[in-house]
């Protein structure tokens, strides 16, 4: 048995090695993209911190060792490329750039970055220590590096020896030397435009509107062209405008050429020069694209700049000849990879194979190279690579996943409606990628294998695989949050996504709150039923469970105890010996609540100015693929400057320090270990494993944690963390003060509770629970016997209706079709977080039943064990509906308003003895009580919570057996259980009621069609058997339908999954 784990990105990718001297030209030609390679002792971060919502790879910011004055004067953009000196020596790395290397032109506009007095480089942050004149960091030994790699939490980037192609590109230096550099293919789509909104679309005559286009003018494309022209290095030939000599893309009174400053090595554009704008730019762009494509169509989003087909056919294509090697891929779902790694080591997963993309643009890679890479990944890394066209991946990932799904799943409704062309195009790409994954899984699948699909990138895959493999065991786990139905319904393709997920046997969520949201979305959008076993849809029961993912605490502690982390901790302690560090690590977007966190800290300092000199808020802001937006960055910048301006001593450290870069993992763990407080203020999130890592890192100081109540981790760490509403600024500010002033005893108590929760919900536990849930769900779906009740099809219903010849009411006023429905017994409910939810949409029930009774041929009766008054209140919105109260003890005919009693007073002598017996039992079941009605007695246990449920059910079962054995024969009684209520009445009560209805209608007409629907109670079975025995009276035109998954044999002929399927069936009756 093989477990196929489908994730968008494989755990591995491929880097190509080329001569360092060729990198600049290849980069300028948009062919390759340089790759950062960490030096020895700088393992890459591939553990759980790189979760599914961290798309950008973690770059090692400090490339080597450092001293106080090494490169702190370098600007931020140069720091990434610098080789930092260590105690007078220059550390050699395998980077392809040095601090003095020529910057390469790029056509990608840079996003705005936080630039303020609080924004410091990591170099300044760690090493510009006013308390010390000389700091050094010992480089880890090779043994230490091996320990880090073997810990499994993260490891060395390189995992493979160099693979040389048959052509064998000759290198000027050895592998990893300064004479070579590692690169990856560059995507063809270098300048994708911003998301198009409805307000930006303008009609374009003479063009087909199946393609999208954007104005050059002041748009990002126009600025990109201007930037590309102005960034040519001195002495280089200016690139010819793609629009021709007469169509420069700019207009103005001055010279349109680029002005080069030889002394400064910079370029500038004449002040008279400006980009074309408006219709003039649109017309020019249309002419260019039409000429380029040879048609009147406009190219898709992103455009093109080179003839890539010719490049692929070129024998000198670098990707056809360059050596390559497999390396660990730093993006993707690190928590999943950690969990799978640990489960394979422990033996809980025996045979695992990954299915995903190799994490690199592939259009420029020749097919022969792709095949070689795929073969190696399958043979040595148990990974099946899927190559997606660059433009398709762009539409799938950057557009649909990140601009449509991601915001909605995190309760971020778009401020502007996306253009229909944008959504439709990106949705088609989303479908294509999902279909590629499904086809590959179907191709590899063998009977008995398990398919486990992960996250919102692949929501359609379970349904696609189910269509081809109906008997396959399929699981799906959503690592992010799932919003309420009111939010999720804003997705245009909502039904397709839900149906795709429901192709799985088991769907896993992070919390029970997300499960409730999923239940309600399926019910309201697909009319699917749900109960404690899951969602009932398409004649299947899909289990939906909550199982929070965790971290590998044992592997993390190996890293925490390493010399590398301890050395970094020493630097942090020396840098701020008297400070309480408040640490936070977030992506720079609105979902993370960075602005709300800053406002709370500002309020804390305003109300407690004595802490101004003793606390420091360190914001680690990670730039993401989806830009936060200039507006949010400006808001954050304003708050940071406002807080830092409050200090009276300009020589002291600022209260807020912003690192607009991610840290190396060892540095980050050192900060966690030395932090006095950690704040997670995310507005909505699935799980935040960063706070789990913080709990383990703070084992010495037992530092407290402030955690947003809207994060999935809140359900796991609620016993120790201070849960806050991030929107409540005052509450978070008070929590900061409480944490700083917290006693050592309380800190230890809270930490121990969180530590126990982290160990209990670790990554191995998550894998085991997920596999157990999937196996149980699959067994339930395949355990039905061949002789079981068969599903009612619409053809069965249509045939029965045709057989009745659709008669109309006869002159005497009789009915020709009879419907008996036990509504209460078929209404399921689920209790989640103390709240009971059910799949009943009352307005839909009212509309369908009223439409049914509007036909004068139909007699509709509702059956229940409720009293006459209760049924009258519940059914007051129904017109002309007959009622069978107390399971038929009282009958109200369809065309009458009064109840008729069918049980005589002398038949109720048994009630006193039964009531006495029940009351003696109630003393043994706390919270239970006895209710006496006109012709029945009920024993309620719904409110009994102070007793073990199994013990309670055992006592109720004993009571039912006792009554049936003691009173059943003498008084012809029958006791049964309906929704935790024990009901006792005359055994033939419901048969009397049904016979009474038939007798009353026989005086006026004849029933030619009967449909009886109910649940699994003994009363329902009596109804099924009654009509089964008398079906000849109705010309054998009887449909007895059992609602819900049968747990035992039944007298019903057909079944339906739930009440909503029944309502759909009733709506077909006209």
Burial class (CB in 10 A: 0-12, 13-18, 19+), 584: buried
Could you tell me the pTM of the whole model? Answer: 0.75
Q: Confirm if 509 and 483 have CB atoms less than 8 A apart.
A: no
Nearest to 562 by CA among 153, 1031, 77: 153
**What is the pLDDT at residue 812?**
53
For residue range 197-255, list pLDDT tens digits in order.
Answer: 433 333 333 333 333 333 333 333 333 333 333 333 444 333 333 333 344 333 333 33
Task: Please tell me the distance from the alpha carbon of residue 416 to that of residue 402, in angstroms, as a whole number.
Answer: 15
C-alpha count within 13 angstroms, C-beta hemisphere, residue 886: 26
Residues 205 and 91 occupy one common structural domain: no
Residues 598 and 514 occupy one common structural domain: no
Task: Please tell me the distance from the alpha carbon of residue 937 to that of residue 198, in angstroms, as a whole number.
Answer: 64
Q: Mark which of 522, 546, 570 sits at the end of a domain.
A: 546
Confirm whether 52 is domain-assigned: no
For residue range 406-416, list pLDDT tens digits in order.
Answer: 989 998 876 55
Nearest to 591 by CA among 521, 501, 681: 681
Q: Locate 718 and state its tokens.
A: 């609620």
- Is pLDDT at 140 greater than 60 in this prediction? no
DSSP letter assigned to residue 816:
S
Q: Mark which of 546, 579, 601 sits at the end of a domain.
A: 546
Percent of the chain at pLDDT > 70 equals: 70
Burial class (CB in 10 A: 0-12, 13-18, 19+), 163: middle
Confirm whether 31 is domain-assigned: no
DSSP letter assigned to residue 825:
H
Q: Confirm if 20 and 177 have CB atoms less than 8 A apart.
A: no
Count of structural domains, the chain: 4
Confirm whether 89 is domain-assigned: yes
Which one is predicted more confidently, 304 or 720?
A: 720
3-state SS class at 583: strand
For residue range 913-972, list pLDDT tens digits in order.
Answer: 999 999 999 888 888 999 998 898 999 988 787 788 888 888 988 999 988 888 888 888
**What is the pLDDT at residue 945?**
78
Q: Locate 447 and state its tokens.
A: 């009977």
- Average pLDDT across the chain, whole number: 75
For residue range 14-71, list pLDDT tens digits in order.
Answer: 998 888 777 777 776 667 777 765 433 333 333 333 344 333 332 222 222 222 233 2
Residues 558 and 541 occupy one common structural domain: no
Which one is predicted more confidently, 1061 or 150?
A: 1061
Task: Please tell me the distance from the alpha carbon of residue 88 to that of residue 70, in angstroms, as a whole number.
Answer: 9
Crossing angle between the packed helical segments 729-740 and 594-607, to the nearest 10 degrees: 60
1004-1008-1013 Cα angle (round to 5): 110
For residue range 525-564, list pLDDT tens digits in order.
Answer: 998 888 888 898 888 889 999 999 999 998 899 999 999 9
Burial class (CB in 10 A: 0-12, 13-18, 19+), 161: exposed
3-state SS class at 184: strand
Phi, psi (deg, nearest 5) at residue 557: -65, -30
Residues 104 and 149 occupy one common structural domain: yes
Task: Please tell me the distance from the alpha carbon of residue 717 to that of residue 738, in angstroms, as a whole number.
Answer: 18
Give the 3-state DSSP-derived string for 603-648, with helices as H, strands as E and coil as C: HHHHHCHHHCCCEEEEEEEECCCCCCCHHHHHHHHHHHHHHHCCCC
**What is the pLDDT at residue 97?**
29
Minimum mean pLDDT among 464-478, 508-522, 623-637, 859-873: which range? 623-637
Q: Confirm if 395 and 301 have CB atoms less than 8 A apart.
A: yes
Nearest to 63 by CA among 90, 36, 32, 84: 84
**What is the pLDDT at residue 235?**
41
Confirm whether 807 is domain-assigned: yes
Phi, psi (deg, nearest 5) at residue 858: -100, 130
Residues 829 and 855 occupy one common structural domain: yes
For residue range 811-842, list pLDDT tens digits in order.
Answer: 456 788 999 999 876 776 666 666 677 777 88
User: Alpha carbon of 903 to those of 469, 872, 885: distances in Å?
Assistant: 55, 19, 12
Task: Please tell me the distance from the alpha carbon of residue 460 to that of residue 775, in angstroms, as a whole number.
Answer: 21
Phi, psi (deg, nearest 5) at residue 915: -60, -40
Read out DSSP for 669-696? HHHHHH-SEEEE--SSBS--HHHHHHHH
3-state SS class at 296: coil
Confirm whether 310 is domain-assigned: no
Residues 879 and 1017 occupy one common structural domain: yes
Confirm whether 2 is domain-assigned: no
User: Alpha carbon of 67 to those of 74, 90, 127, 128: distances in Å?
Assistant: 14, 11, 7, 8
Q: What is the CATH number of the domain that holds 74?
A: 3.40.50.2000
DSSP letter assigned to residue 653:
P
- Give the alpha-carbon dihedral of 204, 206, 210, 212, to 10 degrees: -40
Partners of 722 in beta bridges = 706
- Give the alpha-carbon dihedral of 280, 284, 289, 295, to 10 degrees: 90
DSSP letter assigned to residue 460:
T
For residue range 991-1002, list pLDDT tens digits in order.
Answer: 999 999 998 888
3-state SS class at 382: coil
Minimum mean pLDDT among 151-155, 301-305, 959-963: which range? 301-305
Residues with Cβ within 8 Å of 360's Cβ and at least 6 positions away in sequence, in order, are 13, 14, 184, 185
Crossing angle between the packed helical segments 461-468 and 494-501, to the nearest 10 degrees: 60
Q: Mark which of 495, 519, 546 sits at the end of a domain.
A: 546
Task: Please tell me the distance from the alpha carbon of residue 482 to that of residue 408, in angstroms, as a whole number.
Answer: 9
Partners of 328 in beta bridges = 12
Residues with Cβ within 8 Å of 418's Cβ and at least 6 positions away in sequence, in order, are 195, 196, 197, 198, 403, 404
Burial class (CB in 10 A: 0-12, 13-18, 19+), 467: exposed
Give the 3-state DSSP-derived string for 1020-1069, with helices as H, strands as E and coil as C: HHHHHHHHHHCHHHHCCCEEEEEECCCCCCCCCCEEECCHHHHHHHHHCC
- Is pLDDT at 804 greater than 50 in this prediction? yes
Task: Please tell me the distance from the alpha carbon of residue 322 to that of residue 306, in angstroms, as a whole number.
Answer: 21
Q: 88: alpha, beta or left, given left = phi > 0 and alpha = psi -120 to 50? A: left
Q: Locate 743 and state its tokens.
A: 């006693």
Task: Please tell me the distance from the alpha carbon of residue 817 to that of residue 803, in angstroms, as a whole number.
Answer: 12
What's CA 710's distance to the chain center, in Å?
Answer: 14
- Is pLDDT at 774 greater than 50 in this prediction? yes
User: Alpha carbon of 71 to those of 80, 121, 377, 539, 758: distances in Å?
Assistant: 11, 10, 40, 66, 40
Which parts of 320-363 are beta strand (E)? Answer: 324-328, 352-357
**What is the pLDDT at residue 658?**
87
Rg (CA), the chain: 35
Q: What is the CATH number of the domain that holds 993?
A: 3.40.50.1000
Confirm whether 50 is domain-assigned: no
- Is pLDDT at 391 greater than 60 in this prediction? yes
**What is the pLDDT at residue 1035?**
83
**What is the pLDDT at residue 427?**
93
Residues 567 and 702 occupy one common structural domain: yes
Residues with Cβ within 8 Å of 482's Cβ and at least 6 positions away in sequence, in order, are 409, 488, 509, 514, 517, 518, 521
Q: Quote the domain boundaries for residue 426.
A: 388-546
Nearest to 40 by CA among 82, 94, 87, 96: 94
User: Alpha carbon of 191 to those of 87, 220, 636, 859: distances in Å?
Assistant: 42, 8, 27, 67
Minimum mean pLDDT among 623-632, 696-705, 978-987: which range? 623-632
| Average pLDDT, integer, range 568-581 | 87
Pairing of strands 677-680, 705-708: parallel
User: Alpha carbon of 915 to those of 903, 933, 983: distances in Å?
Assistant: 18, 11, 11
Task: Please tell me the distance from the alpha carbon of residue 387 to that of residue 370, in angstroms, as a whole number.
Answer: 8
Residues 462 and 509 occupy one common structural domain: yes
Read out DSSP for 74-134? S-HHHHTT---EETTEEPP---S--TTSPPPP-SSPPPP---STTB--HHHHHH--TT-S-
| Average pLDDT, integer, range 314-339 | 83
**What is the pLDDT at residue 10?**
94
- Give the alpha-carbon dihedral of 968, 973, 975, 976, to 10 degrees: 120
User: What is the length of the chain?
Assistant: 1070
Residues 519 and 581 occupy one common structural domain: no
Residues with Cβ within 8 Å of 898's Cβ and at least 6 positions away in sequence, in order, are 892
Binning pLDDT at 50, 70 and 90, where does residue 576 land?
A: confident
Residues 410 and 295 occupy one common structural domain: no
Residues 615 and 662 occupy one common structural domain: yes
**What is the pLDDT at residue 728?**
94
Residues 612 and 730 occupy one common structural domain: yes
| Average pLDDT, integer, range 443-460 | 96
**What is the pLDDT at residue 1017?**
83
**What is the pLDDT at residue 2?**
93
């Amino acid at each position: 048995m093989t477990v196929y784990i489908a994730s968008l990105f494989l755990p591995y990718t491929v880097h190509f090695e080329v001569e360092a001297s060729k990198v600049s030209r290849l980069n300028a030609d948009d062919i390759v993209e340089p790759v950062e390679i960490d030096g020895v002792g700088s393992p890459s971060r591939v553990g759980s911190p790189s979760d599914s919502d961290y798309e950008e790879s973690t770059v090692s910011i400090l490339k080597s060792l450092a001293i106080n004055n090494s490169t702190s004067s370098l600007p931020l953009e140069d720091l990434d490329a610098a080789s930092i000196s260590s105690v007078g020596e220059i550390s050699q790395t395998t980077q392809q750039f040095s601090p003095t290397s020529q910057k390469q032109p790029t056509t990608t506009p840079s996003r705005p970055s936080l630039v303020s007095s609080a924004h410091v480089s990591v170099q300044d942050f760690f090493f510009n220590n006013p308390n010390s004149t000389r700091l050094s960091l010992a480089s880890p030994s090779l043994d230490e590096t091996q320990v880090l790699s073997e810990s499994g939490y993260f490891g060395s980037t390189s995992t493979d020896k160099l693979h040389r192609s048959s052509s064998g590109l000759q290198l000027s230096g050895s592998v990893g030397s300064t004479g070579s550099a590692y690169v990856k293919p560059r995507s063809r789509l270098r300048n994708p435009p911003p998301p198009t909104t409805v307000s930006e679309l303008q009609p374009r005559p003479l063009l087909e509107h199946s393609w999208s286009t954007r104005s050059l003018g002041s748009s990002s494309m126009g600025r990109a062209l201007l930037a590309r022209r102005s960034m040519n290095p001195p002495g280089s030939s200016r690139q010819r405008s793609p629009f021709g000599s007469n169509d420069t893309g700019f207009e103005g009174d001055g010279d349109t050429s680029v002005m080069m400053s030889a002394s400064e090595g910079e370029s500038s554009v004449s002040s008279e020069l400006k980009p074309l704008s408006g219709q003039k730019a649109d017309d020019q762009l249309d002419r260019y694209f039409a000429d380029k494509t040879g048609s009147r169509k406009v190219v898709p989003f992103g455009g093109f700049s080179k003839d890539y087909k010719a490049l692929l056919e070129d024998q000198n294509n670098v990707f056809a000849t360059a050596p390559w090697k497999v390396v660990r891929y730093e993006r993707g779902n690190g928590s999943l990879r950690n969990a799978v790694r640990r489960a394979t080591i422990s033996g809980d997963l025996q045979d695992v194979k990954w299915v995903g993309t190799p994490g690199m643009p592939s259009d420029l890679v020749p097919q022969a190279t792709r095949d070689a890479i795929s073969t190696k990944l399958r043979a040595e890394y148990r990974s099946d690579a899927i190559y997606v066209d660059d433009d398709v991946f762009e539409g799938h990932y950057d557009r649909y996943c990140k601009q449509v799904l991601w915001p909605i799943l995190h309760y971020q409704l778009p401020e502007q409606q996306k253009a229909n062309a944008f959504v439709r195009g990106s949705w088609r790409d989303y479908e294509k990628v999902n279909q590629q994954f499904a086809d590959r899984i179907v191709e590899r699948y063998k009977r008995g294998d398990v398919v486990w699909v992960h996250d919102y990138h692949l929501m359609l895959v379970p349904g696609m695989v189910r269509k081809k493999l109906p008997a396959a065991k399929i699981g799906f786990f959503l690592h992010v949050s799932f919003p309420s139905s009111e939010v999720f319904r804003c997705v245009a393709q909502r039904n397709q996504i839900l149906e795709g997920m429901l192709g799985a046997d088991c769907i896993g969520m992070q919390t029970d709150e997300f499960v409730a949201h999923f239940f309600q979305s399926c019910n309201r959008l697909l009319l699917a039923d749900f109960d404690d076993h899951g969602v009932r849809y398409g004649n299947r029961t899909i289990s939906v469970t909550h199982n929070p993912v965790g971290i590998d605490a044992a592997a993390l502690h190996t890293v925490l105890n390493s010399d590398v982390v301890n050395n970094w901790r020493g630097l942090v302690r020396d840098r701020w010996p008297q400070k309480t560090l408040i640490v936070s690590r977030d992506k720079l977007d609105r979902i993370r609540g960075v602005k709300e966190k800053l406002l709370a800290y500002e309020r804390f300092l305003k109300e407690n100015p004595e802490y101004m000199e003793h606390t420091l808020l360190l914001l680690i802001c990670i730039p993401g693929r989806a830009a936060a937006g200039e507006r949010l960055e400006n808001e954050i910048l304003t708050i940071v400057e406002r807080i830092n301006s409050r200090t009276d001593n300009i020589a002291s450290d600022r209260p807020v320090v912003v690192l607009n870069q991610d840290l190396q993992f060892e540095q980050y763990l050192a900060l966690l270990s030395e932090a006095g407080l950690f704040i997670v203020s995310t507005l909505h999130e699935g799980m935040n494993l960063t706070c789990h890592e913080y709990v383990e890192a703070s084992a010495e100081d037992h530092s407290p944690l402030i955690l947003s109540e809207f994060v999935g981790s809140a359900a796991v760490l609620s016993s120790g963390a201070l849960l806050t509403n991030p929107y409540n600024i005052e509450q978070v500010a008070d929590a900061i003060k409480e944490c700083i002033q917290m006693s050592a005893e309380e800190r230890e108590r809270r930490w121990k509770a969180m530590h126990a929760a982290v160990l209990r919900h670790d990554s191995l536990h998550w894998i085991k629970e997920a596999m157990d849930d999937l196996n149980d769900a699959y067994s339930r779906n395949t355990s039905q016997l061949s002789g079981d009740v068969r599903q009612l099809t619409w053809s069965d219903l249509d045939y029965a209706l045709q057989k009745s010849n659709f008669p109309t009411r006869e002159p005497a006023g009789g009915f020709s079709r009879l419907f008996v429905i036990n509504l209460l017994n078929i209404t399921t409910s689920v209790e989640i977080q103390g709240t009971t939810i059910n799949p009943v949409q009352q307005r839909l029930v009212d509309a369908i039943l009223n439409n049914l009774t509007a036909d004068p041929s139909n007699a509709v009766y509702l059956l229940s064990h409720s009293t006459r008054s209760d049924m009258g209140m519940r059914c007051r919105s129904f017109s002309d509906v007959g009622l069978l109260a107390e399971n038929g003890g009282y009958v109200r005919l369809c065309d009458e308003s009064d109840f008729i009693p069918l049980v005589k007073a002398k038949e109720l002598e048994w009630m006193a003895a039964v009531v006495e017996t029940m009351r003696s039992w109630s003393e043994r079941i706390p919270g239970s009580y006895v209710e006496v009605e006109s012709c029945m007695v009920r024993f309620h246990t719904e409110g009994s919570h102070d007793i073990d449920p199994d013990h309670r059910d055992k006592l109720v079962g004993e009571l039912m057996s006792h009554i049936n054995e003691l009173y059943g024969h003498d008084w012809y009684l029958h006791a049964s259980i309906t929704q935790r209520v024990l009901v006792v009445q005359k055994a033939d009560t419901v048969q009397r009621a049904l016979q009474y209805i038939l007798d009353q209608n026989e005086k006026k007409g004849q029933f030619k069609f009967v449909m009886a629907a109910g649940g699994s109670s003994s009363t329902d079975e009596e109804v099924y058997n009654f009509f089964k025995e008398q079906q000849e009276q109705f010309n054998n035109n009887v449909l007895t339908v059992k609602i819900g998954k049968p747990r035992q044999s039944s007298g019903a002929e057909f079944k339906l999954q739930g009440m909503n399927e029944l309502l759909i069936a009733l709506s077909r009756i006209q």
